[in-house]
Structure 1
Amino acid sequence: MTLSVKTIAPDFVAFDEEGKRVCLSEYKGKNIVLYFYPKDDTPGCTQEAQSFRDNYKKYEDKNIIIFGVSMDNQKSHKAFKEKLNLPFQLLVDEQGKLTDLYDVAGGDYSKRVTYIIDKEGVICHIDDKVITNTHAQDILEKMS
């Protein structure tokens, strides 16, 4: 399944770094940034997560929800989140179900791709040319 702009974002149920259930459809009415990244605690993924962390207040002020997703396990996500003091949830995708659902499989990891999902649950932007250290600012510009 190849996803594209103006298609309904596939619904999912996943669990975050604390084991809390997250269902995408429960966030209808909110703008969502769903960013897939290859691996916790690697240089590029750290830069990208820090970019979202450092701009989190701007996202919060615009009522935008951020979810990071990789195929790492809950323990890895929890350690990564704590180490970087991330204020948003990291979704566990150990089996690669979300990675497959969102067409970002890259073998044993997720490709670095970000989806912006509007209040109606429609994909309104896809970014697969991520510059990790400015990614959060780049996405905010697309949402303005």
Structure 2
Amino acid sequence: MEGNGFRDRIQDFNDKNCVILGVSFDSNADNKAFKDKFDFPYDLLTDGDKAASTAYGVVTSDKGNASRVSVLVAPDGSVAKAYETVTPAEHPDQVLADLAAL
């Protein structure tokens, strides 16, 4: 699972002053249960009204489903890179490399 890779490399991200956040349409209670189940050291945010997902362009259908996308946000708040297709085992390393290039 993609989230586990970020969990396992959290110190590397912390060393680069990078904040990891997960975002889903799930309720706060569901996100808390998921976070606890997988021992994620980062927050999972609820986007119940889909405002953030819509702003980032990841709501993909008329039914309001979201695609699984990672977004690297630069210190100035701009989108440095969007990852639409990833290999979960390699994704944390890819993001760390891109962080080094910022």
Identity %: 30
Query: Does 2:68 align with 1:136?
Result: no
Equivalences for residues 27-106 of structure 1 within 5 A: 47-106=1-60
Query: Does 2:66 align with 1:110?
Result: yes
Which residue does the alignment assign to 1:15? none
**8 A contact 1:70–1:109 mirrored in 2:** no
Between the two proteins, the alignment pairs up a number of residues equal to: 98
Distance 1:133 1:72 in 2: 24
* CA shift digits 1:110-132 (9 cap, x unpaired): 21111111111121111111212
Distance 1:101 1:111 in 2: 13
Distance 2:58 2:71 in 1: 11
Which amino acid is 2:84 matched to? D
Task: Give me the TM-score of the superposition, normalised by structure 2.
Answer: 0.88
Which amino acid is 1:123 matched to? V
Which amino acid is 1:51 matched to? G
Q: Which protein is richer in helix relative to its size? A: 2
Distance 2:49 2:18 in 1: 27
Which amino acid is 1:69 matched to? V
Question: What's the Cα RMSD here?
Answer: 1.2
The offset of 1:133, in angstroms, is 2.6
Structure 1 gaps of 5+ residues are 1-46
Which residue does the alignment assign to 1:120? 76
Report which structure shows greater RCO (CA 8 Å, sep ≥6). 1
Distance 2:48 2:27 in 1: 6
Deviating 4+ runs (over 3 angstroms): none
Structure 2 gaps of 5+ residues are none
Which amino acid is 1:120 matched to? D
The SS at the match of 2:80 is strand
Distance 1:127 1:70 in 2: 16
